[in-house]
């Protein structure tokens, strides 16, 4: 069985409000999985349940063979957690934070010290290891929380909105660390950033209002939305004249023109050849396919623009 995480009809009700509604899922081992959704979708609730910080109202989940209901302690041994809010101990230095984590996981100094050296190096914090987290930038604190989550060599790493609020450079640095983990463990992350899901995740589930709305690779999700094939054609010749000719063609469903640039919606890829037949080669300067972005998919499914945190 190659599933690292299995969710069976997980439901969480707060009072009378259902935040997660019979959510089922299997995440393949060694992959980077992304739960993409707007604020309030239920992402943190799901992560808290999977990391045993909260019990579901009903349903069960299994992480590396251990049930979150009946073997919570075992689950905690095999997972690393990067919560949405940094929860570093501000009275301990960076290194002491990592050491404490190693001790809490029953590791000996002989085991945790080399591992901590390696993680400080990987996250670029070696020179700051004896400083207190309060003196760190947001990006450095986040890197320290990621390093801490890895001290005990977890099989599954949960990251709740790992780069929210970080500057672009810190975000890219974190993405690099996460990419390095690919294949060596299973990564389950939540995000409301399209670019993050697009670049990092092998598979994405888009969720809103506690339920899954779509499931697939970024490419597959975009492909599913591309009922229409939109091409941008730039001409050397007279754009207006071509607009008239192209409007007559049955395989073109819509056409927009700005100067000598035409944005055409074709009724399928097979219409590309007839289009080329209509446009004389010498008049064609450039043609490009306009793919729908993941953001287009997200808006189509949730009806929401991505909101800033």
Ligand X SMILES: Nc1ncnc2c1ncn2[C@@H]1O[C@H](COP(=O)(O)OP(=O)(O)O)[C@@H](O)[C@H]1O
C-alpha dihedral (194, 200, 202, 205), degrees to nearest 10: -30
Under DSSP, the state recorded for 184 is T
Q: Does 45 bind ligand X (CB under 6 A)?
A: yes
Q: Is residue 247 left, alpha or beta, with left meaning phi > 0 and alpha meaning psi from -120 to 50?
A: alpha
* Rg (alpha carbons) of the chain, rounded to whole number: 24
- Which partner from the list Mg ion, ligand X, none does 45 bind, CB cut-off 5 to 8 Å by kind? ligand X
Q: Does 37 bind ligand X (CB under 6 A)?
A: yes
Q: Does 162 bind ligand X (CB under 6 A)?
A: no
**Which of 76, 32, 57 lies closest to 182 in space, CA to CA?**
32
- Which partner from the list Mg ion, ligand X, none does 14 bind, CB cut-off 5 to 8 Å by kind? ligand X
Q: Does 142 bind ligand X (CB under 6 A)?
A: no
Instruction: State in angstroms the smallest separation of the CB of 106 from Mg ion.
Output: 30
- Which partner from the list Mg ion, ligand X, none does 42 bind, CB cut-off 5 to 8 Å by kind? ligand X
Q: Residue 255 and residue 263: Cα distance in Å, rounded?
A: 6
Q: Does 42 bind ligand X (CB under 6 A)?
A: yes
Q: Residue 34 and residue 38: Cα distance in Å, rounded?
A: 13
Pick out residues in 217-256 that bind ligand X (CB under 6 A): none
198 within 8 A of 216, measured Cβ to Cβ: no
- For residue 154, give every residue at least 6 positions away whose Cβ sits within 8 Å of its Cβ, in sequence order, or none: 78, 79, 80, 185
Q: Does 55 bind ligand X (CB under 6 A)?
A: no
Burial class (CB in 10 A: 0-12, 13-18, 19+), 268: exposed
Pick out residues in 164-203 that bind ligand X (CB under 6 A): none
Segment contacting ligand X by CB under 6 A, of 1-9, 43-51, 58-66, 264-272: 43-51
Segment contacting ligand X by CB under 6 A, of 39-47, 60-68, 138-146, 179-187: 39-47
Instruction: State in angstroms the smallest separation of the CB of 37 from Mg ion.
Output: 9
Give the count of residues interacting with ligand X (CB under 6 A): 11
Cα-based angle 299, 302, 306 (whole degrees, multiple of 5) = 55
Could you tell me whether strands 261-266 and 186-191 are parallel, antiparallel, or unpaired per DSSP bridges? Answer: unpaired
- Which partner from the list Mg ion, ligand X, none does 265 bind, CB cut-off 5 to 8 Å by kind? none
Q: Does 44 bind Mg ion (CB under 5 A)?
A: yes
CB-wise, 48 or 95, nearer to Mg ion? 48
Q: Does 19 bind ligand X (CB under 6 A)?
A: yes
CB-wise, 133 or 162, nearer to Mg ion? 162
Q: Does 14 bind ligand X (CB under 6 A)?
A: yes
Q: Does 40 bind ligand X (CB under 6 A)?
A: yes
Residue of 25, 32, 44, 97 that binds ligand X (CB under 6 A): 44
Under DSSP, the state recorded for 281 is G
Q: Residue 219 and residue 223: Cα distance in Å, rounded?
A: 6
Residue of 6, 39, 249, 260 that binds ligand X (CB under 6 A): 39
Pick out residues in 52-91 that bind Mg ion (CB under 5 A): 84
116-124 LR contacts (CB < 8 Å, sep 24+): 116/147, 116/151, 119/147, 119/150, 119/151, 120/94, 120/95, 120/147, 122/147, 122/177, 122/180, 123/147, 123/177, 124/173
Q: Does 191 bind Mg ion (CB under 5 A)?
A: no
Site of interaction with Mg ion (CB under 5 A): 43-44, 84
Residues that bind ligand X (CB under 6 A): 14, 17, 19, 37, 39-45
């Amino acid at each position: 069985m190659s599933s690292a995480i299995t969710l069976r009809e997980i439901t969480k009700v707060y009072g009378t409000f259902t935040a997660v509604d019979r959510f089922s899922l299997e995440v393949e081992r060694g992959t980077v999985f992304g739960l993409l959704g707007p604020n309030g979708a239920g992402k943190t609730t799901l992560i808290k349940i999977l990391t045993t910080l909260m019990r579901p109202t009903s349903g069960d989940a299994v992480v590396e063979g251990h049930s979150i209901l009946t073997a919570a302690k075992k689950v905690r041994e095999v997972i690393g957690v990067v919560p949405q809010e940094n929860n570093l101990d501000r009275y301990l230095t960076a290194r002491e934070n990592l050491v404490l984590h190693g001790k809490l996981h029953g590791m000996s100094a002989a085991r945790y010290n080399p591992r901590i050296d390696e993680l400080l190096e990987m996250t670029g914090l070696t020179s700051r290891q004896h400083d207190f987290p309060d003196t760190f930038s947001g990006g450095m604190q986040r890197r320290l929380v990621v390093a801490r989550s890895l001290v005990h060599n977890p099989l599954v790493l949960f990251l709740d909105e790992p780069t929210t609020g970080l500057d672009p450079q810190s975000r890219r640095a974190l993405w690099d660390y996460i990419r390095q983990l690919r294949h060596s463990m299973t990564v389950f992350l939540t995000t409301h950033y399209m670019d993050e899901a697009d670049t990092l995740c092998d598979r994405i589930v888009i969720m809103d209002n506690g339920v899954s709305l779509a499931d697939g690779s970024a490419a597959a999700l975009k492909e599913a939305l591309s009922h229409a094939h939109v091409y941008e054609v730039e001409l050397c010749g007279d754009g207006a004249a071509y607009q008239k000719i192209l409007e007559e063609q049955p395989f073109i469903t819509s056409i927009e023109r700005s100067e000598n640039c035409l944005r055409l919606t074709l009724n399928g890829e097979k219409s590309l050849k007839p289009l080329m037949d209509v446009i004389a080669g010498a008049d064609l300067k450039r043609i490009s396919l306009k793919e729908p972005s993941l953001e287009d998919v997200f808006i189509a499914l949730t009806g929401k623009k991505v909101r800033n945190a």
